[in-house]
Chains A and B, each alone.
Chain A
Amino acid sequence: VSHDEHDHGHDHHPEPLAPVEARVAAIESVLIEHGMFDTELLDGIVENFEHNLGPLNGAKVVARAWTDPGYKAPAYRSRAVREPRALLAEMGTPIPEDVEIRVWDSSAEVRYLVLPERPDGTDGLSEDELVTRVTRDSMIGVARL
Chain B
Amino acid sequence: MGELERINQGNFDQKIQLLEGVVLKDSKSSPIRTFTVKHTQYAQVIEVNSQEAVTNEASRMITRIQVTTYIAPVNNRWRLNWEGNSYDVISAAQIQRTPFMKLEAIKIFK
Whether chain B is bound by chain A comes out as no
